[in-house]
C-alpha cells in the first residue's frame, strides 16, 4: 500500500497535468468544496498521523493547539530542511513529485486558516527549489493557488524559502528565526510556535512527509488511514536507506513490517551486499542510538522487532532505539564503529549553534576525544570521559540538538565498547587503512 | 577591490529581489536576506564585505545584520573561491558508501587539499556535512548541481569535463 509514492515513477508526474491524471488535486477539490477547515482537522486527528520529522508528535493534535486570535494572521511552514545524516526522503519526494507536497500544503493551510504559507528548503537543494517553484507557478496558472481558489472564497499564497546550510534550522524555532532573516538560534519554549511563531504570529511547523500525507487522508478518511499500520504507528512511512544493503534508496513501507523483512526482502533493501554480514544499524537518522545486529532484528525480550515507533524503542536506550526521521543506515562487518561515531561527533560539533555551553563545549570535547581515539592517540580513560561528557550535555540545553549529539556517542560505547578499547590498546593496528575490530563469536564475524 | 558603487545586480535580478521582498508582510523584508544572499553569491561567487553591504542597502537593514547571518550559514563563502566550488559530503553514510577513497582521489587529481583553490583559480574543494543524498552517496555538489553515486572514474570524467 503506497500513499505518497504510488505514482512517483510515472513520467511527467512533476507536471500538473500528469499529476492530475493520476488523481492529483482531488483532495484539494474535496476539501475546499465539501468540507469545513475543522472537518479536515478532524480527519487528520482520526488518522493518528504522527509527525514524520523525527519527534512523532500527532499532527492533528498539533493543529488543534494553533491559537486563532481575531485579526492576526496564522501561518503554516513546511519543514524541508532535511539535514539529519541518513535522511533523504523529503529530497526524493519533492524532487520527483513536487505536487504531492503542494497539494498537501494547500489542504493543510485551508484546515489551519492560513492565507500565506512557506516551504523552507535547505539551501543546498536549490535545484529542488526550482522544481517546486515551477510547480507552484502551474498551480497559480490553473487557479489552485492565489485568490478565491476554485471559487471557494479561500485565498492562499505559497512561497519557497531557501536555508543557508545549517542543520540546526531543522529545529522548528531555529527555522522560524531563519525564515525571519536571522541566525538559526533556537528559541526558548514556551511560547510554542502554535501561539507565537513566525513574526510572533500563531504558526504550525510540519515535516514534508506529514503534510504530504494529509491529501490521502482527506480523500479516503482518517479511519482508513488508521487501518494501515500497527497500534499507534498508523499509516505508511518513507524510509531512507543508506549503507551496505544491496538496494539503498527511499522506500515507502506500511508501518509494522518486521525489521528483518525490511532489510532482507527483495521488495525492500534486498539484503546485505554480497559476501558480507549485518553488523549494526542506525535506524532513525544519526541522532538515534546505534544497535548491533541482534538487537535491531529482535528485542531484548526475543520478539521480532517491527518498523514502528513503539517496537523500535522497545527496551528504552539500554537495548532499543527510535524510528526518528526514518534515516536507516546499515553497516556490515567492514564498518569501523569508532570512525562512524567520529563523523557523527564532528557533525554535531560543526552544527551546534553555540547558544548553550553544555552543547557548544561538550560537542567540541566529544569530537576531539573521538578524533584522538580514532587516530591512535586515545587513552583508556577517554572512553569513560566520552560517556561522562555525553551525560552532562543530555537534558541541559535549550533545544534537543544537545541530546541528539550525546545519544549516538553514548550508544556506540554501550554496544561497541570493545571496539573503542581495541583502538586505545592497539593503536598501531587500529590506524592501519581499512582495519576493523572483529568481535570474537559475533554474528557478523566472518 | 571593488566598492559599493560598482556592485549592482543586473536589472532582471533586481526585479526578482523585489518579488522576493513581496513574499513577506510589510516591514518584514529582512526575511529576504537568505534568498538574496544566494543571488549575490551566484553573481559574485563569494560574499565580500562590499557585496554584503550592497545586500544590506537593498533590504534596508544594517550591514551588521547581514554579516551576522552570512557568517552563521555554511553555504556562504566569506573568502574568494575558484570558478567551480566542489563541496563533498564527509558524513558517516557517505563514508560507508566509499566516500573516503573517492574524495582522496579528487584531492589528488586536483593536487589540492580541502579548503584550497587550484593555482589556475578553476577549482576550490570544500568539505561539508550530509547533503540529504546519503543512499546515493558518495556525493558532492558544484553550485546547484548534485553529483551522486560517485566513483573515482566518475570524478575523473566530471573534472575533465569542467577543465575544458
Ligand atoms: C536539531 C534538530 C533538527 C531537526 N531537523 C528537522 C528536519 O530537518 N526536518 C523536520 O521535519 N524536522 C526536523 N526537526 C524536528 C522539528 O523541530 C519539528 O519537530 C518538526 O518539523 C515538526 O514536524 P512534524 O511534527 O510534522 O514532524 C529537527 C529537530 C531538531 C532538534
Ligand atoms: S542545544 Fe546546541 S544547538 Fe540547541 S540551542 Fe543549545 S547550543 Fe544551540
Ligand atoms: S551522509 Fe552524505 S549525503 Fe547524507
Q: Model confidence over A72-130: pLDDT tens digits?
A: 999 999 999 999 999 999 999 999 999 999 999 999 999 999 999 999 999 999 999 99
Q: Which three cell numbers stand for residue B39?
A: 543571488
**Do the domain assignments include residue B38?**
yes
Confirm or reject: Cβ of B148 under 6 Å from ligand 3. no
The pTM of this model reads: 0.97
Confirm or reject: Cβ of A57 under 6 Å from ligand 1. yes
> Could you list the residue range(s) of the whole structural domain that residue B62 is in?
11-72
Instruction: Say how far apart CA A282 and CA A34 lie, in whole Å.
Output: 44
CATH number at A16-227: 3.40.50.11540
Q: Please list the residues that pair with A298 across neighbouring strands.
A: A304
Query: Which residue pairs, CB below 8 angstroms and at least 24 apart, start in A280-283?
Result: A280/A331, A280/A335, A280/A337, A280/A415, A280/A416, A281/A328, A281/A329, A281/A330, A281/A331, A282/A86, A282/A321, A282/A327, A282/A328, A282/A329, A282/A331, A282/A408, A283/A259, A283/A312, A283/A321, A283/A322, A283/A323, A283/A324, A283/A328
Instruction: Say how far apart CA B137 and CA B16 lie, in whole Å.
Output: 34
CA dihedral A123, B143, B126, B53 (to 10 degrees): -70
Instruction: Say how far apart CA A307 and CA A363 lie, in whole Å.
Output: 30
Q: Are residues B100 and B155 in the same domain?
A: yes
What's the gap in Å between A82 CA and the centre of ligand 1?
A: 8
- Ligand 2 atom with least separation from CA of A351: 3
**Do the domain assignments include residue B6?**
no
State yes or no: cis peptide before B98, omega within 30 of 0. no
**Do the domain assignments include residue B79?**
no
- The pLDDT tens digits for A271-298 are 999 999 999 999 999 999 999 999 999 9
Q: In B, which residues are within 8 Å of A122 by CB distance? A: 132
Interface test with A, best of B135, B145, B148, B149 (most A CBs within 10 A): B135
CATH number where B144 lies: 3.40.30.10
For helices A98-112 and A208-220, angle between their N-to-C axes, nearest 10 degrees:
70
Residues 385-424 of A with CB under 8 A from B: none
Q: Are residues B52 and B97 in the same domain?
A: no
Q: Are residues B63 and B104 in the same domain?
A: no
Q: Please list the residues that pair with B140 across neighbouring strands.
A: B88, B147
Confirm or reject: Cβ of A354 under 6 Å from ligand 2. yes
Which residues make Cβ contacts (< 8 Å) with residue A40, sequence separation at least 6? A31, A107, A108, A110, A111, A214, A218
Instruction: Determine the pLDDT at residue B1.
Output: 46
CATH number where B41 lies: 1.10.10.1590
- Examine the pLDDT at B2 and tell me if it is beyond 60: no
Q: Taking all residues of chain A, what is their mean pLDDT, rounded to a whole number?
A: 97
**Do the domain assignments include residue B113?**
yes
CATH number at A337-430: 1.20.1440.230
Q: Nearest by CB to A181, from B69, B90, B92: name it.
A: B69
Instruction: Say how far apart CA B5 and CA B28 lie, in whole Å.
Output: 26
Which residues make Cβ contacts (< 8 Å) with residue A171, sequence separation at least 6? A184, A186, A399, A400, A401
Q: Are residues B18 and B48 in the same domain?
A: yes
Q: Are residues B91 and B68 in the same domain?
A: no
Q: Which three cell numbers stand for residue A431?
A: 590506524
Instruction: Say how far apart CA A409 and CA A402 lie, in whole Å.
Output: 12
Across the beta sheet with B84-89, the strand order is: B123-128, B84-89, B140-142, B145-147
At A272, is the secondary structure helix, strand, or coil? strand
Instruction: Determine the pLDDT at residue A446.
Output: 82
Percent of chain A residues past pLDDT 90, beyond the cut: 99
**Do the domain assignments include residue B91?**
yes
- The pLDDT tens digits for A372-411 are 999 999 999 999 999 999 999 999 999 999 999 999 999 9
Q: Are residues B151 and B126 in the same domain?
A: yes
- The pLDDT tens digits for A211-256 are 999 999 999 999 999 999 999 999 999 999 999 999 999 999 999 9
Instruction: Parse chain A into domains and list their residue ranges.
Output: 16-227, 230-332, 337-430
Q: Are residues B88 and B145 in the same domain?
A: yes
Q: Are residues B132 and B154 in the same domain?
A: yes
Instruction: Determine the pLDDT at residue B6.
Output: 83
Q: Are residues B88 and B67 in the same domain?
A: no
Give me the architecture of the A230-332 domain, per CATH.
Roll (3.10)
Examine the fold and report which residue of B25, B52, B72 is the final residue of a domain before the chain moves on. Answer: B72
Residue of A260, A343, A262 lying closest to A295 (CA atoms): A260
Instruction: Determine the pLDDT at residue B5.
Output: 55
Q: What b/e readout covers B90-125, taking b as 16+ CB neighbours within 10 angstroms?
A: bbbbbbbbebbebbebbeebbebebeebbeeeebbb
Q: In B, which residues are within 8 Å of A161 by CB distance? A: 23, 31, 34-35
Sign of the torsion formed by the C-alpha atoms of A426, A429, A434 and A438: negative
Strands B84-89 and B140-142: what pairing? antiparallel
| pLDDT tier for residue A203 given thresholds of 50, 70 and 90 | very high
**Contact status, residue A310 vs residue A233, Cβ threshold 8 Å:** yes
- Look at chain B and report how many structural domains it folds into: 2
**Do the domain assignments include residue B143?**
yes
Q: Are residues B115 and B143 in the same domain?
A: yes
Contact B38/A at CB under 8 A? yes
**Do the domain assignments include residue B1?**
no
Amino acid at each position: 500500500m503506497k500513499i505518497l509514492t504510488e505514482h512517483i515513477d510515472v513520467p511527467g508526474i512533476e507536471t500538473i497535468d500528469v499529476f492530475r491524471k493520476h488523481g492529483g488535486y482531488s483532495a484539494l477539490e474535496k476539501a475546499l468544496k465539501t468540507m469545513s477547515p475543522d472537518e479536515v482537522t478532524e480527519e487528520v486527528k482520526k488518522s493518528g498521523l504522527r509527525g514524520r520529522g523525527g519527534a512523532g508528535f500527532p499532527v492533528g493534535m498539533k493543529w488543534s493547539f494553533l491559537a486563532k486570535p481575531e485579526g492576526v494572521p496564522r501561518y503554516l511552514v513546511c519543514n524541508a530542511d532535511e539535514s539529519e545524516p541518513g535522511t533523504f526522503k523529503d529530497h526524493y519526494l519533492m524532487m520527483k513529485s513536487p505536487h504531492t507536497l503542494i497539494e498537501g500544503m494547500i489542504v493543510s493551510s485551508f484546515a489551519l486558516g492560513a492565507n500565506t504559507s512557506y516551504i523552507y528548503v535547505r539551501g543546498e537543494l536549490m535545484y529542488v527549489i526550482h522544481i517546486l517553484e515551477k510547480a507552484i507557478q502551474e498551480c497559480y496558472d490553473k487557479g489552485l493557488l492565489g485568490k478565491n481558489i476554485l471559487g471557494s472564497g479561500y485565498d492562499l499564497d505559497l512561497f519557497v524559502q531557501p536555508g543557508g546550510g545549517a542543520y540546526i534550522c531543522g529545529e522548528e524555532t531555529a527555522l522560524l528565526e531563519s525564515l525571519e532573516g536571522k541566525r538559526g538560534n533556537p528559541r526558548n519554549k514556551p511560547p510554542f510556535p502554535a501561539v507565537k511563531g513566525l513574526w510572533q504570529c500563531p504558526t504550525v511547523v510540519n515535516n514534508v512527509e506529514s503534510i504530504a500525507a494529509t491529501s490521502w487522508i482527506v480523500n479516503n478518511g482518517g479511519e482508513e488511514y488508521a487501518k494501515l499500520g500497527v497500534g499507534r504507528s498508523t499509516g505508511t512511512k518513507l524510509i531512507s536507506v543508506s549503507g551496505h544493503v544491496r538496494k539503498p534508496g527511499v522506500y515507502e513501507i506500511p508501518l509494522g513490517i518486521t525489521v528483518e523483512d525490511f532489510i532482507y526482502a527483495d521488495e525492500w533493501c534486498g539484503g546485505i551486499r554480497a559476501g558480507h554480514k549485518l553488523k549494526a544499524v542506525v535506524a532513525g537518522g544519526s541522532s538515534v542510538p546505534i544497535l548491533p545486529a541482534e538487537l535491531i532484528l529482535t528485542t531484548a525480550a526475543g520478539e521480532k522487532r517491527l518498523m514502528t515507533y513503539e517496537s523500535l524503542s522497545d527496551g528504552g536506550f539500554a537495548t532499543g532505539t527510535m524510528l526518528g526521521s526514518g534515516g536507516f543506515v546499515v553497516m556490515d562487518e567492514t564498518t569501523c564503529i569508532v570512525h562512524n561515531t567520529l563523523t557523527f561527533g564532528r557533525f554535531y560539533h560543526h552544527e551546534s549553534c553555540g547558544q548553550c555551553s553544555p552543547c557548544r563545549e561538550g560537542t567540541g570535547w566529544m569530537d576531539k576525544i573521538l578524533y584522538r581515539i580514532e587516530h591512535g592517540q586515545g587513552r583508556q580513560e577517554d572512553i569513560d570521559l566520552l560517556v561522562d561528557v555525553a551525560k552532562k550535555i543530555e537534558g541541559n540545553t535549550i533545544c534537543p540538538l544537545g541530546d541528539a549529539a550525546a545519544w549516538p556517542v553514548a550508544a556506540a560505547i554501550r554496544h561497541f565498547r570493545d571496539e573503542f578499547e581495541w583502538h586505545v590498546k592497539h593503536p598501531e593496528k587500529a590506524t592501519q587503512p581499512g582495519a576493523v575490530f572483529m568481535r570474537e563469536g559475533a554474528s557478523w564475524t566472518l | 577591490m571593488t566598492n559599493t558603487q560598482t556592485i549592482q545586480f543586473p536589472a532582471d535580478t533586481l526585479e526578482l529581489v523585489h518579488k522576493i521582498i513581496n513574499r513577506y508582510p510589510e516591514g518584514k523584508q529582512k526575511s529576504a536576506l537568505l534568498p538574496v544572499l544566494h543571488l549575490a553569491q551566484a553573481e559574485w561567487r563569494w560574499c565580500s564585505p562590499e557585496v554584503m553591504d550592497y545586500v544590506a542597502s537593498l533590504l534596508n537593514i544594517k550591514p551588521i545584520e547581514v554579516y551576522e547571518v552570512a557568517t552563521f550559514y555554511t553555504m556562504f563563502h566569506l573568502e574568494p573561491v575558484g570558478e567551480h566550488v566542489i563541496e563533498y559530503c564527509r558524513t558517516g553514510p557517505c563514508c560507508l558508501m566509499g566516500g573516503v577513497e573517492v574524495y582522496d582521489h579528487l584531492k589528488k587529481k586536483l593536487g589540492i587539499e580541502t579548503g584550497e583553490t587550484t593555482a589556475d583559480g578553476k577549482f576550490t574543494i570544500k568539505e561539508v556535512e550530509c547533503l540529504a543524498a546519503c543512499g546515493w552517496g558518495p556525493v558532492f555538489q558544484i553550485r546547484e548541481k548534485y553529483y551522486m553515486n560517485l566513483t573515482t572514474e566518475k570524478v575523473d570524467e566530471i573534472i575533465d569535463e569542467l577543465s575544458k
